[in-house]
Structure 1
Amino acid sequence: MDGTGGPSYAADVAVHEGRIEAIGRIRAGGRRTLDAHDLVLAPGFVDMHAHSDLALLRDPDHSAKAAQGVTLEVLGQDGLSYAPADDRTLAGVRAAIAGWNGPGDDADFGWRTVGGYLDRLDSTGIAVNAAYLVPQGTVRAYAVGWDDRPATPAELDRMRTLVAEGLAEGAVGMSSGLTYTPGMYADGAELTELCRVVARYGGYYCPHHRSYGRGALAAYAEMIALAREAGCALHLAHATMNFPENRGRAGELLALLDRALAEGCDLTLDSYPYTPGCTTLVALLPSWAGAGGPEAVLARLRDDAEAGRIRYALEVDGSDGCHGVPVDWSAVEVSGVVDPAFGGYVGTRLRDWEQARRLLLGDRLRSTVLQHVGHEENVRAIMRHPAHTGGSDGILQGAKPHPRAYGTFPHYLGRYVRELGVLSLEECVAHLAGRPAARLRLPDRGLIHPGHRADLVLFDADTVAAGSTYENPRALPTGIPHVLIDGRFVMRDGRRTDVLAGRAVRRTPS
């Protein structure tokens, strides 16, 4: 299955010096031959939304992704990552996303630029390939700080420069997290100006937009209008319709996307094949509570009057951090903590605000949670869209992470192709390989064509399945015996090899 979505066919594939050399009936024997009878050969899968920014550096094995057939991850997501940054910005970002990536005490943050981070990936040697998005929230923290206010003209110029430098150094685009501080403090005009820079470099904009709940359709429409105004390609991150307000409304989103595509918008999206979401507990708080950065949030939580205001915003008004929907604590399950003293919370649903407040303070804002707010009918409808790609949004931290981190790609193939027939196998491979490579503008990846890089996965269509569950979220998949990157086996006979074939994949100049 060559990644185009076209019919599958039987053929031999010859690989030489990391690239596909020939496809067809190849009579001459190679130095090594693998009998792939009864297996499907597909291009390696692309995780369009990954949170492995530190995991790739600290975990050479990285079976969480390699065992799924993932050969490329896109990092720098949701507007927050570790470059570009100065010392002050880096300290704030590390604290803000400790729930995603851990506190980073075991990492050597020797870089300060996007190029420096990509160089570190190369010099370390990594399990799978990685591309990077310039994180708009980090850029704002660097140029403006963590205050909830408009940027000055000089600060906006500084942000333009930082984005341009990141793209020139190899980033594939820019991300935003518009329900996360400080990125959410940017208005549409500010974002449009930064997207003009992204467009000039041939990158794409990947927003986690302002609402997946009460204001979801308006938030999607805002991003489409912004991208159109800036002339920038748009990729909608974890494009879901969640919370009770949006049950059965995926068709309205898809109609909005179809209109934009018909009008010439360069638009794609990604999703994960599960109903619960996953984020940090602190992300649910209202935006005003995050002004000033993590230490300011903790000070507000310690103050009874301020904590009361936060509670009212969460439970009555519908916090913008909780997508405009009053929080249902019974839908919030703790998936991970950093301080082991709070390990007893993991796997439990929160009872009320006071319990949430104790956890926020005790774990210093670093706890992660699952939100059980999705709808299966929406998940299935969205993954059928021809602009759809796969993204795990996989947070690898915590005692009980979301199973999507270890299971997204085999879950698509096993559950949604073989068991439910939502997509054909050929279509699904295109969603997971060919289409994302096209979005990333990688001319020699994502397809099985002569001259393309030999990033390949072999799986058994009859048995492939996610092993990860909510009870055992780190179980590896079945039915994916072999994975190659640049023609080198990173998975062989279902086992991780010691090969570190991954490299930083830099933006191809337009």
Structure 2
Amino acid sequence: MKTLISNAILADGTGTDRRPADVLLDGEVIAVVAGAGSLTASGTGAERTIDATGLVLSPGFIDMHAHSDLQLLVNKDHYAKLSQGVTTELLGQDGLSYAPVDDATLAGVREKIAGWNDNPQDFDWDWRTVGEYLDRLDASENGKRIATNAAYLVPQGTVRALVMGFAEGDPTPEQQERMQDLVRTAMEEGAVGMSSGLTYTPGMYARTEELAGLCRTVGELGGFYAPHHRSYGKGALGAYAEMIGLSRDTGCALHLSHATMNFAENKGRAGELLELIDAALDDGADITLDTYPYLPGATTLAAILPSWSSSGGTEATLTRLADPATLARIRESVEIYGSDGCHGVVAEWHTLEISGVQNPALAGHVGKTIAAIAAESNAEPFNVFVRILQEDRLGTGILQHVGHEENVQAIMVHRTHTGGSDGLLVGAKPHPRAWGTFPRYLGHYSRDLGLLTLEEMVHHLSGRPAKRLKLDRRGSSAKATRPTSSSSIRAPSVTKPPLKPPASQPLASITCSSTGRQRSTAGSHRRPCRPRPAPQPRRTHPSRKYGIA
């Protein structure tokens, strides 16, 4: 079907000035981009016309840090992202997702990240490899395809669990080779790079040398490394430096996940991080990053534990939590010295808010901090922390109130910045970034604060991430894109234009598209996609000076 969007103000994703335009869509393809008023329904054969007078037309937005790995399959409407204008999501984040796996690894991962994605028992987990998972995303179920385009990062923690289990320890040479082979196979099957979660077990057990071997494989295949690095709190700059050094030493491109500077010791220190990144860029490094436009973070309550106490998976962890001597060691780490799971920072119980639980008996805790629950029950916060972990089998989701507005703003305007929601879509009170990241970028930070122009912000959310993903047919609506037999361009979204309207004027949006996927072409030597008949698409696999606001 042909759709004519007339009299729009086009912010085309390149960062250039907006301009009046008519755009003709032919199915999922941008067929014509012309001056406003130059196209008519009769002249183009359009069966549908959208009058976009007073609205801004932009490319669909790309969520560079999405946790929709299950939601795309169990919730085909996926309003959380479509309502924001998101049309492409990067999955497989933080080193933990559902492929590649065997039966035992899948069971362990499902339990481990239940607080991120839930753990449905009646769901058909019918894949084991990355290729099979991507095929499942591609499949139509009950006449419906997944709602957004999807690209996938092979998760380093899952790969480690598949080869070494969930316990601590260094890999043997044979295990290291096996992990690198799994990463290579995953990328040949369609992954665009590799992620790590280096404050989550078992990925955090990897030393730098282990990660370097995996990054070399990723770099050889033209992909990029997207780490959740070892600390966003104590020693954060050193953790960032480790990742930048990995990129330099292995030749693997780097994308820093939810690049923040959190906790009290990092207040006002974003400039130090950006100086570190700029120095690497000036030396020729290939670095991008993503952030979410909120102050709290989100994770699982179990992530606060020291890594040694989580070795071996859920049952081993629960056994330790039931042992008084071991609990004393855990308490010392969490409340006195600062556990590695809590970014080297002593847990502040008033900052840890329950956002979701697996056990319905704990539902009354949602929306309350550990400190508040402890006060209500006249108990010590640490004991409340342990009780909830036990009764919820480590499946509790939390918000962690540790961010700083000046850091968020400084990183947001950097030349490497892209948008990533890091949104967890489950729980009774999920983080608002799951539903609000992209409107908040456009409405609060661009329109209301003027931190970036609308054109610049659209570029951060579309054109720049598309370049990182090597999707040359996405991220820009500057000109028509002719279809091929194997890929298609996602239809755009439309958003309200003014930078500085009255405070009461909302940033509206219109989504007028169906879905389509395009496999990344990150490496020219990658095996080609299996051919599909047209028009069925394939899956997706200047600089402003920063400062402290």
Same fold (TM over 0.5): yes
Q: Which runs of 5+ in 1 are unaligned?
A: 466-476, 489-500
The percentage of counterpart residues that share the same residue type is: 58
Residue equivalent to 1:469 = none
Residue 447 of structure 2 is aligned to residue 447 of structure 1: no
State the match for 1:68 in structure 2.
84
In the TM superposition, 1:337-416 aligns within 5 A as 337-351=357-371, 352-416=381-445
In the alignment, structure 1 residue 94 sits paired with structure 2 residue 107 = no
Superimposed CA distance per residue, residues 262-316 of structure 1 (whole angstroms, 9 cap, x where no aligned partner)? 0111000000000000000001111101111111111111111111111110111
Residue 202, structure 1, aligned to residue 222, structure 2: yes
Equivalent of residue 121 in structure 1, options 123, 132, 137:
137
Equivalent position to 1:279, from 281, 285, 299: 299
How many equivalent pairs are there?
484
The 3 A distance-change label for structure 1 pair 320 and 435 is: same
Answer yes or no: is the 8 Å Cα contact 2:443–2:507 preserved in 1. no
> Which has more radius of gyration?
2
Q: Distance in 2 between matches of 1:107 and 1:158?
A: 30
User: CA 1:299/1:407 → structure 2, altered by over 3 Å: closer, same or farther?
Assistant: same
Matched residue, 1:169: 189
Q: Secondary structure at the match of 1:21?
A: strand
- Residues 47-62 of structure 1 aligned to structure 2 (within 5 Å): 47-62=63-78
Q: TM-score, normalised by structure 1?
A: 0.93
Task: Give the counterpart of 1:78 among 82, 94, 99.
Answer: 94
Amino acid in the other structure paired with 1:509? G
Alpha-carbon distance in structure 2 between the residues aligned to 1:126 and 1:226: 35
- Counterpart of 2:240 in structure 1 is 220
How far apart, in 2, do the equivalents of 1:234 and 1:401 lie? Answer: 29
Q: Deviations over 1:433-480 (max 9, x none)?
A: 000000001110001132171431101135999xxxxxxxxxxx9611
Instruction: Give the aligned partner of residue 269 of structure 1.
Output: 289
RMSD: 1.5
Query: What letter matches 2:146 in structure 1?
Result: I
For the 8 Å contact 2:62–2:465, the answer to whether it is kept is: yes
Matched, 1:23 2:43: no
Q: 2:523 is matched with which residue? A: 509
Range moving further from structure 2, 276-285 or 21-30: 21-30
CA contact (8 A) 1:413 1:461 kept: no
Where 1:10 maps in the other structure, the secondary structure is strand
Give the aligned residue type for 1:251. G
Distance 1:269 1:508 in 2: 18
Give the residue type in structure 1 aligned to 2:264.
P
Indicate conservation of the 8 Å contact 1:337/1:398, yes or no.
yes
Check the 8 A contact 2:117/2:424 in 1, yes or no.
yes
Alignment of 1:463-482 (within 5 A): 479-482=508-511
Q: 1:437 aligned to 2:466?
A: yes
Q: Per-residue deviation at 1:126?
A: 0.4
1:231 aligns with 2:260: no
Aligned partner of 1:356: which letter? F
> 1:456 aligned to 2:492?
yes
Match of 1:9 in 2: 19
2:447·2:499 contact (CA, 8 Å) conserved in 1?
no
The one-letter amino acid paired with 1:33 is T
Greater relative contact order, per chain length (Cα 8 Å cut-off, separation 6+): 1
Separation (CA, whole Å) in 2 of partners of 1:193 and 1:220? 18
Distance 1:319 1:423 in 2: 37
1:234-267 CA deviation, whole Å, 9 max, x = no partner?
Answer: 0000000000000000000010010011011100
Paired position in structure 1 for 2:530: none
Q: Which deviations, in whole Å up to 9, do the C-alpha atoms of 1:400-444 show, x marking residues without a partner?
A: 000000000000000001111111100000000000000001110
TM-score calculated relative to the size of structure 2: 0.86
Contact 2:82 2:511 in 1 (8 A): no
Contact 1:171 1:507 in 2 (8 A): no
Give, in whole Å, the separation in 1 of the partners of 2:519 and 2:151: 5
How much does 1:319 deviate? 0.4
SS at match of 1:206: strand
Question: What are the ranges of 5 or more consecutive residues in structure 2 without an aligned counterpart?
Answer: 1-10, 372-380, 483-488, 525-549
Deviation at 1:504, TM superposition (A): 6.4
Letter in 1 for 2:523: P
Supply the distance in 2 between the matched residues of 1:380 and 1:273 (Cα, whole angstroms): 8
